[in-house]
Each structure stands twice: as structure tokens, then as C-alpha cells.
Amino acid sequence: MIVEDSILEGCIAGKRSAQSQLYKKCASTMLGVCMRYASNRDEAEDIVQEGFIKVFQRISSFRKEGSFEGWIKRIMINQALNHYRKNRKMPFTSVIEEIDETEIVDMEESEPMDVIPADTLLGMIQKLPEGYKMVFNLYVFEEFSHKEIAESLNVSESTSKTQLLKARRLLRKKISDYKQSKKSTKIHG
Amino acid sequence: MDSSKFPAGEGEQIDDLFRKTLGDHTVEPSGNLWKGVSRRLLWKEISRFNFTNIPQGYWISGTAAIIMILGLLYFYSGSHQSTRVNPASEQVIAGKSHTGNNPATSPSVNPAEKNIVAPKQESVTPILHKPGLPGKTQMIASASVPAPGPAPHRAETPAPAEPVASLLNPPAASERWSLSMLDPIKAKGLTLADLYDTIISFQTPQGILKIQKIKPMSVQSFSADFGVTPELIKYNTTHSYSEMNYWLNARISYHFSKFTVQTGIALGYVYDEGKYQTKYISKDSIGYFTSIISFYVNPDNQNEIIFNTKDVPVYDSLQHFSDDRTRNRYTYIELPLLFGYQLFESNKLSLDLMAGPAFTFLIGTRLAEPYIEYPNARIIRIDDNTAQRVKMNWKISLSLHLEYRVSKNLGCYLEPSYKYYFNAFTDKEQTSSSPYSIGIGLGIRYHFGKITK
């Protein structure tokens, strides 16, 4: 994603045409990021909308020392975290359904995981409980340490670790279920 | 299954799967998303409007437009409001007729506009008639010149003349008429400002000129103000700082004699700092070590080894705390109750001293979220240390209301003001640190029809 200086300068000057161009260049990538943090598309678009408002308000503070994509992505992630904090209803101690380990198919025995479509994987993340989702996203995609996650989400480090573990476990089950359903489709098809 | 039972490496395998598949995943937004962003941006621009962010071109055009409008109003009022000398309270009726005929009083002639010049020769002497109730009617004339035959239209049967000096008080400088036609009166140490309810006849070469100044009858009136007041507020909390606030005023005033009682409502945008502390981690240099690049034996001394070295910085993740400030906006409704006294009044200008309490109620809060950008740093946590605002404040306001009349009913005003808050804006502050503000109000005042007792 390359954003020309002329577009940035136009945005700094508050020109709507430049803002529109910047939006067109970045919106799909940023919505892809925010979809991981949201539960559905509407929620993700709300986060992106708020994020773009902040981007346009603060674009003059972008110092061109790093990549613009990294800068705008950080704003979107912060916005997603703010959205999560505002709407957080339950503490991190939510207990998920017990997973029957016998039901989980050994991944190595099944087909390679990379054939699972992106939208399916995205749907799996979106359906995670809020706390799992936040920890998983921050750890996997933003490469936060557990200590940093703990401070960002105002939880303990051990909670962060536990949430990540449970998130992975749940995702593993979802992947397993998905593969089972694909297999049964093939057999019956 | 506890964590120890999780297959080794499988966690990372899942992480990699999601990272590779979704790391650069894009989703096309719906068409409504940009509309929403665009609408929000427009609203932000409107809500951020203040007098400091208006482009220079707009300032120049706006100022030019105001000057033109005021000029037109002034011209219009000057050419059509002929009878008014002091628009607020006084009226002059002038008439002119030829010698020997009954004077036909011309309707509402403004002497200044008509530029009627009376000769200054000594033979021209003002003859003054005092109309009104029969018992009070009197004619004032100089001893040397008799009153002209036909009586002015409002004069009753002339009464015996009285010495002028005994009827008049020393004239106020502000009420002196600048009409050249009144030179004969001034020559006698009089001004028309003192001659309420008096018809003055002038013997001029063109005929008899009659002027009557009617005593102000208005004792009560109402007016409505609409204006804006930019003000600079000074906060004295942990440190002193200032912010610009903006108030939109709609007020109604009741005037009686020289006094005014005023109330109304004002909508204020009050700005204050938001205080945040950000914790972030950055990779910073914590020292260096010396690395040997190469070495060789000193050719001059076989027992000596020479090392080529370089200093290599050592980085580590360091935790930082940063105090950051934002600019929050609070919306207030103000209910003032002001009392005023008129200090000065002339044809076009008036000056009132206004003072009284005002109560402000917090109705809205817009907190600006902090944005802290540290290159190569990771923001861990942002703590909001902004103090909560109290719901109600009260203050005392002192202002000078300077009004310029552009027409009979319309005036524009300039109102420098000082406001002192008696209670602090937040619970964390001490009362002794109450803020104060100075501002300059600008607006228009519409005077409603006068009420007479």
C-alpha cells in the first residue's frame, strides 16, 4: 500500500478529495484488520469509520519516519481496543464449553491447513469470545508479549496466557469441525 | 486438557495458519462506509468552528461585508429618520415658513441633514415657546426681539416671557447640538438640549424656522440581544494555562430610566485540558560493547598485538511513562441575571455598566482521545487522569456594554467582560484556584417599541 505524498499533503490541508483517495487506498486493508477484532462486518465498519476520523484528524502528526501503513494500522488497532474496552461487559474469566478432545481430529492426519479459506478462518476468529479474540489477535498478529497484552487489556499475565491457550484450543476444534464437515460432504457428495 | 497437554508446536502451527492467511487479508468496505466517514468529518469541521480557524480570506470578506452593511444601515437611517436627534429618547420637530405667513410645519426635518443655516448676524434671535398644558405654556424671548405673529403649531397662547437662564440647567457636553443654525442660541449660552417641549422660532432671510424638541417620553423599553463572546479563560490548577471559549448569547433586557435588568440564555463551548499518562515500551540503547573486528601483530614490536575494534550499541526494551494532554470540549448552558446602569448616552452611542451573577450548567462533554505516536515504540497502556467536571458553576460577571445605533431599532454592540467563577470546575481543584475569564462580546441589539407610563 503506497500512499503518495501529494495525497498526504492534501489530507493535512483537509481536502476532501485527498481524504477520499486515501480512504480508497487503505479502506479494504484496514477493514481486513478490524474484521479480526470485531464480531461482524457492521461492528468492523464502525471501528474503521472511527479510525479514519482519527487518521484524518491526526495525519499532520505522521512524521514519515515509519511506514504510513504501519501508522494507520496502529490507529485502527487502538480504535479496536478502545471499542472493546467500551463494550466490555464480562470479565476475562468467561468459561467456554468443555471441548471433547476425542472429537478433535489430528491435524497432521488431515489435509493441509492452508486450504481453509480466509473467510472461514476469519469467521472462526470472529466467533471467539471477546477476551480470547483480543488476546489471540494481539499475540498472533500484532506480536505483543503476554506482559504487554496484560497491560493493554488490564488483565494479569497469566490470564493472557490462559486466554491464548483457550483461544488456540477453540480454534483447533473449529478447524477440526470444519474439516470433518468437508470430509462428510465429500463422502456424501 | 491443560497447557502441558497441548501438542508441542501445534499452538505455533495454528498461529502461523491464521497469520499467513489473514495477515494481509483485505475486505472490501460497503459503499456506506465512506459516506459515514465523510459525514462525520463534515460534522467535526462544523463543531470545531471557532473564530481562530477561519481562513484569512473569510475574515477579510466578512469584515468587508459587515462594514458595507453597517454603512448602508447608517446611510439609510440618516436619510429617513429625520426627526430623531437622540434616537433613544428625544425628538425634534422643525418647520420653516416665510415671513408673514403661518408657518407650515414640515414633517420631520432633520436640521443636520437639511443643512439649514441660520445667519449669524446679531439681529437673528431665537424666540422660544413652551407648549404643553395651558398652564405651563410660556414664551421665552429676548427682550429686544418680539415673538413673531403666528404661533407655532404646538404652541398655546403665549404666556409672559421668563428669563431663559432661570429655566435652563447647564447643558451636558454630550447633548450639544452641532447645528450651525443654533449658533444664535449658543451665543446666548444655551443649548437646545435643555429646551425640551419648546418651540424655537428663527427669523431668517428665508422665513421663519421653527424647531421643537420634545421631551423624552419613554421611561420603559425592552430590547433583545444576539451575539457571540469569545473569551480567554485562565485556569489555575497544578499549573496555569489559558483556553479560548466561545459563548452564543440570546438575552432580553428591560430598560427603565437609566437602569437595565437583563436575562437570557447562552450556549458555551468551554475548552480544557485532558490529562493522560501513557505507558510505552521502546527499544533503546542501554550501553555498548567493544567488538574486535580484526587484529594483527605490530610489525615494529612482535610482542604486541593490535586490535581493530568498534563500539556496538546494546538495545533493550525499556518502559517509559509519558504525560500527555488533549483538548476536551465541554458544553454549558448559562443563565445570567445582570443589572445595568447607563453611564453615557449620545446620539449614536451609549455605554452601560452591567454586573450580576450567572449560573452555568454542564450539558455535554466531548473528550478528545489521546493520540501518542512514538516511532519504534509500543503503547502498552493509557491512563485517563482527567478530572471530572462539576455539573453546575456560578460566577459573577462584570461588563461594559457599548452600543452603536445603526437605526431606530437596531444597534450593534461591543461588550468587554470579566467573569470570576466562585466554584472550581472540577472536584479535584481548590476553590481558591477558581478560574476567571476575560472576553469581548459582539452582537446586535434590537430595541422594541417604547412603552410610556
Secondary structure (DSSP) of B93-159: EEEEE-TTS---PPTT--HHHHT-----STT---EEEE-SSGGG-EEE--SSSPPPSSPPTT--SPP
Contact B224, B446 (CB under 8 A): yes
| Alpha-carbon distance B382 to nearest alpha carbon in chain A (angstroms) | 8
- A28-32, A44-48, A92-96, B171-175: least confident range: B171-175
Contact B403, B350 (CB under 8 A): yes
Provide the 3-class DSSP secondary structure of residue A170: helix
Residue B197: its pLDDT value, please?
A: 59
Residue B443: its pLDDT value, please?
A: 95
Query: Burial of B261 by CB count in 10 Å (0-12 exposed, 13-18 middle, 19+ buried)?
Result: middle
- The pLDDT of residue B300 is above 80: yes
Q: Are residues B233 and B355 in the same domain?
A: yes
Distance in Å from the first CA to the final CA of chain B:
95
Q: Are residues B244 and B267 in the same domain?
A: yes
Q: Which residues of B touch A20 (CB under 8 A)?
A: 34, 38
Q: Is residue B347 part of a domain?
A: yes
Left, alpha or beta for B171 (phi > 0: left; psi -120 to 50: alpha)? beta
For range B161-180, the mean pLDDT: 40
Q: Structural domain tally of chain B?
A: 2
For range A136-153, the mean pLDDT: 89
Dig out the grid coordinates for A35 from the structure.
474484521
Tally C-beta pairs within 8 A across A and B: 129
For range A39-68, the mean pLDDT: 87
CA distance B172 to B176: 7
**Res. A27 pLDDT band, cuts 50 70 90:** very high
**Res. B265 pLDDT band, cuts 50 70 90:** very high
Q: Are residues B335 and B193 in the same domain?
A: no
Distance in Å from the first CA to the final CA of chain A:
42
Q: Is residue B78 part of a domain?
A: no
Q: DSSP per residue over B87-99, as a string? A: TTT-EEEEEEE-T
- The pLDDT of residue B88 is above 50: no
Q: Which residues of A touch B24 (CB under 8 A)?
A: 29, 32
Domain boundary among B216, B249, B281: B216
Q: Is residue B314 part of a domain?
A: no
Query: Are A168 and B3 an interchain contact pair (Cβ–Cβ within 8 Å)?
Result: no
Query: Are A14 and B45 an interchain contact pair (Cβ–Cβ within 8 Å)?
Result: yes
- B39-48, B162-171, B188-197, B262-271: least confident range: B162-171
**Res. B334 pLDDT band, cuts 50 70 90:** very high
Q: Are residues B161 and B212 in the same domain?
A: yes
Q: DSSP per residue over A90-119, as a string? A: S-TT--PPPP-GGGSPPTTTSS-GGGS-HH
Contact A104, A173 (CB under 8 A): yes
Domain boundary among B194, B216, B238: B216
Q: Are residues B260 and B247 in the same domain?
A: yes
Domains of chain A as residue ranges with CATH: 5-87 (1.10.1740.10), 101-188 (1.10.10.10)
Q: Is residue B293 part of a domain?
A: no
Residue with cell 457571540: B228
Contact B94, B211 (CB under 8 A): yes
Residue B108: its pLDDT value, please?
A: 36
DSSP structural state of residue B386: P
Query: Are B18 and A169 an interchain contact pair (Cβ–Cβ within 8 Å)?
Result: no
Q: Is residue B210 part of a domain?
A: yes
- The pLDDT of residue B7 is above 70: no
Nearest to B236 by CA among B439, B391, B436: B436
Question: Sign of dihedral through CA atoms A6, A9, A11, A16?
Answer: negative
Which residue in the set A29, A116, A148 is minimally distant from B380, CB to CB?
A148
Q: Is residue B97 part of a domain?
A: yes
Residue B435: its pLDDT value, please?
A: 82
CA distance A181 to A179: 5
The residues that bridge with B355 in the sheet, in sequence order, are B339, B398
Q: Are residues B190 and B334 in the same domain?
A: no
Identify the residue with better confidence: A46 or B374. Answer: A46
For range A136-148, the mean pLDDT: 90
Cα A80 to the center of its chain, rounded Å: 8
Domain that holds residue B124: 90-216
Query: Are B27 and A32 an interchain contact pair (Cβ–Cβ within 8 Å)?
Result: yes
Nearest to A85 by CA among B382, B397, B289, B386: B382
Rounded mean pLDDT of chain A? 82
Q: Is residue B130 part of a domain?
A: yes
**Res. B71 pLDDT band, cuts 50 70 90:** confident
- A138-152, B5-19, B336-350: least confident range: B5-19
Q: Are residues B241 and B350 in the same domain?
A: yes
CATH number of the domain enclosing B227: 2.40.160.20
CA distance B174 to B189: 15
Residue B78: its pLDDT value, please?
A: 52
- The pLDDT of residue B223 is above 50: yes
Q: Are residues B349 and B413 in the same domain?
A: yes
The fraction of chain B above a pLDDT of 90, given in percent, is 20
Q: Are residues B234 and B362 in the same domain?
A: yes
Query: Are A28 and B29 an interchain contact pair (Cβ–Cβ within 8 Å)?
Result: yes
- B79-88, B355-364, B442-451: least confident range: B79-88
CB contact residues (below 8 A), chain B span 326-355, against chain A: none
Q: Are residues B160 and B238 in the same domain?
A: no
- The pLDDT of residue B128 is above 60: no
CA distance B177 to B183: 9
Which residue in the set A14, A19, A172 is minimally distant from B14, CB to CB?
A172
In order of B249, B253, B282, B293, the CA distances from B361 in angstroms are 15, 22, 44, 72
Q: What is the pTM of this model?
A: 0.49
Q: Is residue B444 part of a domain?
A: yes
Contact B247, B268 (CB under 8 A): yes
- The pLDDT of residue B375 is above 70: no
What is the C-alpha R_g of chain A? 19
| Alpha-carbon distance A122 to nearest alpha carbon in chain B (angstroms) | 7
Rounded mean pLDDT of chain B? 71
Element holding B360 (H helix, E strand): strand B349-366
Q: Are residues B200 and B340 in the same domain?
A: no
Q: Are residues B126 and B151 in the same domain?
A: yes
**Res. B122 pLDDT band, cuts 50 70 90:** very low
CA distance A38 to A28: 15
Query: Are B41 and A53 an interchain contact pair (Cβ–Cβ within 8 Å)?
Result: yes
Around Cβ B113, how many Cβ atoms within 10 Å? 12
